[in-house]
Homo-oligomer: A and B are copies of this chain.
Amino acid sequence: MAQDSQEAAVVRPVADILEQRNAGNSSGYILPKLHSMKEQNPNLALLDIGCGPGTISSTLAKIIPDGHVTGIDKSPDIIPRARDLAEESGVKNIEFQQGDAYKLPFADGAFDITICHQMLTYLKAPWDALSEMIRVTKVGGIIAAREGDLTSECVWPELPGLVKFHKLAGDLIKGGGGTDKGGRQLLSWALKAGVKREMITVSHSTWSYSTPKEKQIWSVALIERVQGSQLRGLGLKLGLTTGDLDEIVRHWTEWAERDDASIAMMHGEIIIRR
B-facing mask of A233-274, CB < 8 A → 1, else 0?
A: 000000000000000000000000001111011101000000
Say yes or no: B202 contacts A184, CB within 8 Å. Answer: no
Say yes or no: B203 contacts A185, CB within 8 Å. Answer: no
| A12 interface residue (CB < 8 Å to B) | no
Cα A181 to Cα B163 in complex, Å, equals: 14
| A206 interface residue (CB < 8 Å to B) | yes
Cα A239 to Cα B156 in complex, Å, equals: 30
| A92 interface residue (CB < 8 Å to B) | no
Which DSSP category, helix, strand, loop or mixed, fits chain A's interface? mixed
A83 vs chain B, min Cβ distance (A): 33
Q: Which residue of B lies closest to A260 (CB)?
A: B188
Stretch at the interface among A30-38, A106-114, A147-155: A147-155
| Interface residue count on the A side (C-beta < 8 Å) | 32
| A25 interface residue (CB < 8 Å to B) | no
Q: Which residue of B lies closest to A202 (CB)?
A: B210
B-facing mask of A200-213, CB < 8 A → 1, else 0?
A: 00111110101100
Q: Which residue of B lies closest to A209 (CB)?
A: B202
CB contact between A156 and one of B154, B187, B260, B262 (< 8 Å): that residue: B187
Cα A181 to Cα B197 in complex, Å, equals: 33
Contact of A268 with B260 at beta-carbon distance under 8 Å, contacts A149-B154, A184-B155, A188-B156 already known: no
B-facing mask of A161-181, CB < 8 A → 1, else 0?
A: 000000000000000000001
Say yes or no: A264 contacts B184, CB within 8 Å. Answer: yes
Contact of A259 with B151 at beta-carbon distance under 8 Å, contacts A206-B204, A208-B202 already known: no
Residues of B within 8 A of A185 (CB): 156
Residues of B within 8 A of A261 (CB): 187
A29 vs chain B, min Cβ distance (A): 11
CB contact between A206 and one of B191, B205, B211 (< 8 Å): that residue: B205
Q: Which residue of B lies closest to A208 (CB)?
A: B204
| A67 interface residue (CB < 8 Å to B) | no
Say yes or no: B152 contacts A154, CB within 8 Å. Answer: yes
Say yes or no: B154 contacts A187, CB within 8 Å. Answer: no
Cα A208 to Cα B184 in complex, Å, equals: 10
- A to B CB contacts below 8 Å, 30 in the list: A152-B152, A152-B153, A152-B154, A152-B266, A154-B181, A154-B183, A154-B184, A154-B204, A154-B266, A154-B268, A155-B184, A156-B181, A156-B184, A156-B187, A157-B188, A184-B262, A184-B264, A187-B259, A187-B260, A187-B261, A191-B260, A202-B208, A202-B210, A202-B262, A204-B208, A206-B206, A206-B266, A262-B268, A264-B266, A266-B266
